[in-house]
Amino acid sequence: NCDDALVSPLPSTALTSSSELFNTHSPSFAKLNRRDGAGGWSPLDSNEQQWLQVDLGDRVEIVAVATQGRYGSSDWVTSYTLMFSDTGRNWKQYKQDDTIWVFTGNSNADSVVHHKFLHSVKARFLRFVPLKWNVGGRIGLRVEVFGCSYKSDIADFDGRSSLLYRFNQKLMSTFKDVVSLKFKSMQGDGVLFHGEGQRGDYITLELQKGKLSLRINLGDSNLHFSNSHTSVTLGSLLDDQHWHSVLIERFNKQVNFTVDKHTQHFRTKGDSDHLDIDYELSFGGIPVPGKPGTFQRKNFHGCIENLYYNGVNIIDLAKRR
């Protein structure tokens, strides 16, 4: 039941805007169904450079929005886009099917138009950006946002730290691996996770110049010191301080590598179908300097959220320890 009204309980200072027509038209009056002030928000000028921003106080899960025009007026918005952010500085536009989504607005001042998202958004800040408005009036807006609190496991990495997941036995040999996580960073380079074995097996996920590179080798020690290992790169500009999702699924030599809904399927090299890793996997960096082929790699600087390896919640496990 993630459909709580998130704006109505907020203090009036949580709503800000690009400008306001008069004090009576300030964003503090832009809550849905409110009639105080001039009955809603109107900017100084009605153009496409205006916006109404809501600070939800914490990172939440947003599933829907609703809008009205300014109460008892000829001012309403007929179409708008949405932008969201965790910081209030770096903004990302709401998209569906990789297209910036234009929401249908209002046809009068007081009817409520409700839109449920195709996929939820996790953010603290939300901006309504009017595109078109009533020809006979100005931009006028009252809003509500629906969702719920968002509980997640997040680890912060400062470029020097890492998380270790140590196995119960000296050697972990797997035919199947699943790694899932979300990350955000403003640094274009850094190791998100790494593991290797004595016989040349290894797996590394690394951010390089804003792209994600996945390297895997199964059981061929000769490949460990050459350029013939299996390496696949996905994504671009991933160092934009927005959350990006990663899913790696391996069964024997077949691997599915997904970054933000884009998937690449490939087969690994090597003379085995299983991945042999000694002692541990490291997340956020490589804690032991001087390992062959790893000493020039940078540790990750940013945040990792909901990190799972073969069903194990790595961050939660680290907290409990």
pTM of the model: 0.74
CATH class in words for 154-320: mainly beta
Summarize pLDDT for 136-191 with one digit per residue, the tens: 999 999 999 999 998 888 999 999 888 988 888 777 888 999 999 999 999 999 99
Q: What is the pLDDT of residue 72?
A: 95
Whole-Å CA distances, 230 to 84, 245, 252, 267 = 37, 22, 14, 8
User: What CATH number has the domain spanning 4-149?
Assistant: 2.60.120.260
> Domain boundaries in the chain?
4-149, 154-320
The DSSP code for 299 is B
At 60-98, the pLDDT tens digits run 999 999 999 999 999 999 999 999 998 898 899 999 988
Six token digits for residue 92: 């990302």
Asked if 33 and 111 touch (Cβ cutoff 8 Å), the reply is: no
Sign of CA dihedral 48, 54, 60, 66: negative
Sort strands 15-17 and 4-5 into parallel, antiparallel or unpaired: unpaired
What is the C-alpha separation between 305 and 321, in angstroms, rounded? 18
In the block, tokens 């274009």 appear at 188
Quick one: pLDDT at residue 83? 98
Question: How far is 260 from 287, CA to CA, in rounded Å?
Answer: 28
The dihedral built from the CA positions of residue 71, 77, 78 and 79, taken in this order, carries a sign that is negative
- Give the chain's radius of gyration (CA, Å): 24
pLDDT of residue 169: 77
Q: What pLDDT is stored for residue 223 in this prediction?
A: 47
% of residues, the chain, pLDDT over 70: 94
pLDDT digits (tens, 9 = 90+) for 140-151: 999 999 999 988
Three-class SS of residue 146?
A: strand
The alpha-helical segments, DSSP class H, found in 79-227 are none
Letter for the amino acid at 87? T
Q: What is the pLDDT of residues 2-45, one digit of tens each?
A: 999 999 999 999 999 999 999 999 999 999 999 999 999 999 99
Average pLDDT for 203-212: 95
Say what the pLDDT of residue 178 is: 94
Query: Identical fold at 4-149 and 154-320?
Result: yes
Residues 6+ positions from 260 with CB-CB distance below 8 Å: 235, 244, 245
What percent of the chain shows pLDDT beyond 90?
Answer: 71
Q: What is the pLDDT of residue 160?
A: 87
